[in-house]
Amino acid sequence: MEDKMRCELGIESSINNGSIHLAKSRYIMGQSSVSKERLPTESSPEFTASVACNTVEEDYIKQVKVVETQGGINPIHWFGVLVPQNLHKAKGIFQNAINFVVECVNINIQLLENLDSYNILLKHKNNLLKHKKEELK
């Protein structure tokens, strides 16, 4: 649970820090240079994700892993060639947030599997106690 809370705090911190650097970039470049109008729409070919997640199973443990997609477009190029350093920092911080999200998902998967195992063992224990009581009668 501590790891899950640490990951969630990491996600929150990364998003806040990335947003601050994005705001600084917008201030430096001007409002029209860094705005939603510069972003591609869902129907445009530039809208594909730069990373994807795959579920893999190693040693009977399910985990989600980040996979770089082929032909990904650098989102910084949407805002021009010469962009402030803050925009590069924001990109790195948001990419780090993806790693926190994946780590949080993996911890969540492990917690759910542990809960399932606990419930199975609890049912088995109750069945054993039930049979023990029947034998004593």
pLDDT at 49 over 90: no
pLDDT at 48 over 70: no
Does 1 fall in a domain? yes
DSSP string spanning 16-44?
Answer: HHHHHHHHHHHHHH-TTTSSGGGSPPTTS
User: Each residue of 114-132: pLDDT tens digit?
Assistant: 999 999 999 999 999 998 8
Q: Predicted confidence band at 47 (pLDDT cuts at 50, 70, 90)?
A: low
CB half-sphere exposure, 51, CA atoms < 13 A: 13
Closest CA to 34 of 90, 96, 93, 72: 90
pLDDT for residue 101 = 94
Residues of the domain holding 8: 1-38+46-72+82-107
| Rounded average pLDDT over 69-86 | 81
Quote the pTM value.
0.76
Does 58 fall in a domain? yes
Does 55 fall in a domain? yes
Number of domains in the chain: 1
Does 11 fall in a domain? yes
Quickly tell me which residue has 């999200």 as its tokens.
101
Q: Predicted confidence band at 11 (pLDDT cuts at 50, 70, 90)?
A: very high
